Structures are given as structure tokens and as C-alpha cells.
Structure 1
Amino acid sequence: MKFTNKDLCSLLFTDLSPSQSRCNTCSKVYKSGNGYTNQVHHLLKRHPDYHDLAVAAFRKGNRFGVTLPDQRTNDIFRWIEWCVMERMPVSFCERPLVRKNVKMDPISAETLQKYLDLVYLHMAGAALDAIS
């Protein structure tokens, strides 16, 4: 999972004011200038495992307690949404022109079908539970 400096700082620091932020791991306070240099330098120097900390914070959720999906999960959802809403065949995702022009990570028809089946089974189970 790749994070920008902005992502790292929003996950691993708490804004105290527009000009200050606090490290969520060690509580050290840093000045926030126009960028994220101070915070990123702190992470590199004091928390060599900062990437693991960022992944854990990302999976845990944001300040509002909302759990956010990772990029791969989001891409799979978007592929499913596109195929279902536009009534496209599953093999649509393997067309060269589609692959060339799409911004999502590529996916195979087999993988897309697997996730479509999983969504179907989940929704069928939820529907049965709702009517029982």
C-alpha cells in the first residue's frame, strides 16, 4: 500500500492547530509549515516502522470511526459496479482498449467473476435472513 506524505501525516499525526501537529505514537509536537517535511523527517528518524503504523491506522479507520477500504478493494468494487450497471460481460475488463484507458488496476475476468459470485452469495444470504 502506497501513502503520500499527506496521507502519512493525516494518519499518524493529529492537528492541534493550523501550525502544529502531534505524533499519535510518541506525542511529540511539530510545527506544520506549508508541507510535511518536519513530520516525515520525524517518522523516518523516530519510527522506522512508520509504514506498518500507517497501514494499521488506515485499516483501523479515520477519526470518525469509519473503516476505509484499501485501494484494491475499492478497485474491485468499481469494476463490479461498472460491469453490473452498464450490463457488460465479465470479459469486458480484459479488453485491450479498456485496460489502456482505465485508471483502476487491471483485473482478470476470472477474478471479477469470483468477486461477483461472492457479492451475490452475500446478498442472497442477507435477503434470506431478512425474510426469515
Structure 2
Amino acid sequence: MTSRQLCVFYFTDLGKGLFECQSCGRHRKKTPGSGYSKLNSHLNSKHVGFAEEYAELHAAGTPSFTAFGFVDEVTSNIYKWMEWISARNLPITEMENKTTRAVVTMKSTTVQTLKQYMRHMGTSFCIMFDGWTSNALHFLGIYAVYMLEGEGCQRLLALFPMNEGQSAEEGQSAEAHVDHISAVLNVYEKEMDMVKFIVGDNCSTNQSIATGLGIPLIGCACHRFNLAVNRFLQDYQTQIDQIQNLIIQL
């Protein structure tokens, strides 16, 4: 692989010698005819293992960094503006302030555009979520599911760790999930009482969430099937263990 291939893959050319890293969104300048040393320096210092990642994706036939599964530029930009406005308790008109636009990294947008995205969810929608734990961090992915002009829509609202620093029992309780989801909805100026049902797996935590909110839980069909299969195979656990041990020895 060449330096040019890596930089074309990881950076977007914004013109006039300015490049944007597709991984972290930072901007780097490159003087025409100077090569790719500055861009490579950013990758080496901020994204360790980028060369191995590129080689793996290239071998798998992944055509671009965006296709690898990162959030598209429009969605990311709108979310950053919403987070900026809500976290700092600013008026929505702040996004059109010239001084603000000069210091933030998001691309300029308008109040009308931001309100349009907020209105899409309406006042009645579903929340679909699932969690994943890595070491001491519990990540929660939250989607909004709603109808827009007669068509079903799914929008990723958030994907980040919840209740860092707390024990697993405290940070992953039904109450902690509700608080986390409520905080995410506040970013979009929505409230929990707008949620008409939730979609998730059939664990006791999700059942407790649905009971506490007084709304239905639509359990994952695949998860129910997996639970049913495990229950069916309980009487054959000895044989299953013997087969597993045999396979390990082969």
C-alpha cells in the first residue's frame, strides 16, 4: 500500500489544500506538491493501527471508509449541532451566529433544517435498543422508529457508554436504562411519554423497563427462538458437552 492510497482512503479532499479525516473529523492542511507526510503524521499519532485496518478492509473488498459502517456525514453533522445546542442550553438560533460558526467544526446549517429533523419523529414513536458490554463499559444503541409520509423510518439516536464509573448492577439496571434513554431523547426535544412501545430482547431488564413505563415490549423473535432452543436442549446437555470436548481434542 502507498501513502497516497492510505490518505485517499482516510481523508476527504475539501479543496484548497484542506483535508478532513473521516475517522475523527479533524482538518489537516497539505501544500500542493508536498506529498502526504502531514496527513500520514496525523494517522500515525491519532489512529494507531490504521495501516493494518486498511489492509484488512482492502482484502475484504471494502470500497471506502464510509461503506465500512460509519455514520453518514449529514446525520453526524445534525447530531453534533443538536448536542451542541442542548448540552450548552443555547437558543436554537445560536447555530446561525457568525462567531459560533467560526469556532465549531460542524458544517453550517439553519434553524429550519434542524427543526425539520426534530419534527420528523413527531410526538408518537417507538424506541428500539440493545446493549453490548466490553470490559467495564456497557454501550447502548438507541433507535427511533416512526412513520413518515406513510413509510416506516429508523434513525440512530445514540451509541455510547452509559453510566461510566458505576458498577454493572447499578449502571445496567432498568432505572439506569430509562434515565439514559430519557437523556438522549432530551437532545431531540422529546419526552419519554411520547414513546408508545419499546423493541428489544426478552431479558428481565427490558421487561422491567416496559412495566415501569406502562408500555408494551415487543421482544426480539430471534432471541425468543434462541431461548426456546436452549430450553429444548437442556435434557441433552451431557451429550452436548461430550461432543464439544471431542471437537476440542480433534
* TM-score where L is the length of structure 1: 0.51
The SS at the match of 1:129 is: strand
Deviation at 1:23, TM superposition (A): 7.1
Select between 81-90 and 106-115 the one with higher mean Cα deviation.
81-90
Q: 1:128 aligns with which of 160, 176, 196?
A: 196
User: Which residue of the partner structure matches residue 105 of structure 1?
Assistant: 107
Is the radius of gyration larger for structure 1 or structure 2?
2
Helix, strand or coil at the partner of 1:97 = helix
69 and 110 in structure 1: CA distance in 2 versus 1, 3 angstrom threshold: same
Match of 1:14 in 2: 55
Contact (CA 8 Å) 1:80, 1:116: kept in 2 or not? Answer: no
In structure 2, the CA distance between the partners of 1:101 and 1:83, relative to structure 1 (3 Å rule), is: same
Q: Which amino acid aligns with 1:24?
A: G
Alignment partners' CA distance in 2, 1:103 and 1:70? 16
Partner SS state of residue 105, structure 1: coil
Shift, 1:58, TM fit:
2.4
8 Å CA contact 1:13, 1:23 repeated in 2 = no
- For 1:113 and 1:95, the matched residues in 2 are separated by 16
- 2:61 corresponds to 1:58: no
Query: What displacement does 1:95 show?
Result: 0.6
Structure having the larger proportion of residues in helix: 1
Select the structure that is richer in strand: 2
Distance 2:56 2:70 in 1: 20
Aligned counterparts, 1:1-132, within 5 A: 4-7=7-10, 14-15=55-56, 22=59, 24=61, 53-54=63-64, 58-59=66-67, 61=68, 67-118=69-120, 120-121=121-122, 124-126=124-126, 127-130=195-198, 131-132=215-216
Give me the CA root mean square deviation.
Answer: 3.4
Q: Which has the higher contact order (CA 8 A, sep 6+)?
A: 1
Deviation at 1:100, TM superposition (A): 1.2
- AA at the equivalent of 2:55: T
Inter-partner Cα distance in structure 2 for 1:111 and 1:79: 11
> What's the secondary structure of 2:71's corresponding residue?
coil
Unaligned stretches of 5+ residues in structure 2: 1-5, 12-49, 127-194, 199-214, 217-250
Partners of 1:82 and 1:99 lie apart in 2 by 12
Amino acid at match of 2:197: D
Q: Give the secondary-structure state (helix, strand or coil) at the position aligned to 1:128.
A: strand
Runs (4 or more) in structure 1 with deviation over 4 Å come to none
Q: Distance in 2 between matches of 1:75 and 1:99?
A: 13
Give the C-alpha shift of residue 6 in structure 1.
4.4
**% identical equivalent positions:** 19
